[in-house]
Structure 1
Amino acid sequence: MEINIRQWIVSVMILGALLMGGCAQQDATSQAPNLPTEPPVTAQAPDAFSNLPRLEGKATVQMVIKGKNVLIEVDGSKAPITAGNFVDLVQRQVYDGVVFHRVVRDPQPFVAQGGDPQSKKPQADPRTFGTGGFIDPTTGQERSIPLEITPEGAPSPVYGSPLQSAGINQPPVLKHKRGAVAMARSQAPNSASAQFYFALSDLEFLDGNYAVFGQVIEGMDVVDGIQQGDRIDSAQVVEGLENLRSNGPS
Structure 2
Amino acid sequence: MRDKLLFAGLFAVGVGILGASYHNLMRANADTSVPADHSGPVMVIDVAGQANGEIRIALRDDLAPNHVERIVTLAERGDYDGVVFHRVIDGFMAQTGDVEHGTDDANARRWGTGGSDLPNLRAEFTDHPFERGVIGMARSQSPDSANSQFFIMFAPAPHLNGQYTVVGQMMDGFDVLDDIKRGTGGNGAVVGTPDRMERVTIER
The share of aligned pairs that are identical, in percent, is: 32
Counterpart code for 1:115: G
CA contact (8 A) 1:97 1:234 kept: yes
Give the CA deviation at 1:28: 8.0
Report the equivalent of 2:124: 148
CA contact (8 A) 1:69 1:219 kept: yes
Counterpart code for 1:147: A
SS in structure 1 of the partner of residue 141 of structure 2 = coil
Aligned partners of 1:72 and 1:29: how far apart in 2? 23
Query: Please, which runs of 5 or more residues in structure 2 have no aligned partner?
Result: 13-38, 182-189
CA contact (8 A) 2:10 2:139 kept: no
SS in structure 2 of the partner of residue 84 of structure 1 = helix
Report the equivalent of 1:178: 132
Give the CA deviation at 1:87: 1.1
Aligned partners of 2:149 and 2:93: how far apart in 1? 12
Give the CA deviation at 1:59: 0.8
How do 1:116-195 and structure 2 match up within 5 A? 116-117=98-99, 118-123=101-106, 125-136=107-118, 143-150=119-126, 172=127, 174-195=128-149
CA contact (8 A) 1:116 1:195 kept: yes
Query: Please, which runs of 5 or more residues in structure 1 have no aligned partner?
Result: 1-23, 35-56, 137-142, 151-171, 240-250
The number of residues matched between the two structures is: 162
Q: Would you say 1:90 and 2:75 are equivalent positions?
A: yes
Which has the greater radius of gyration? 1
Report the equivalent of 1:233: 198
SS in structure 2 of the partner of residue 208 of structure 1 = coil
Q: Deviations over 1:222-249 (max 9, x none)?
A: 011111411111000122xxxxxxxxxx
- Residues 103, 58 of structure 1: alpha-carbon distance in 2 compared, 3 angstrom cutoff: same
CA contact (8 A) 1:25 1:133 kept: no
How do 1:14-53 and structure 2 match up within 5 A? 24-26=2-4
Structure 1's consecutive aligned runs of 4 or more residues displaced over 2 angstroms after TM superposition are 26-34
Counterpart code for 1:101: H
CA contact (8 A) 1:30 1:187 kept: no
Report the equivalent of 2:64: 79
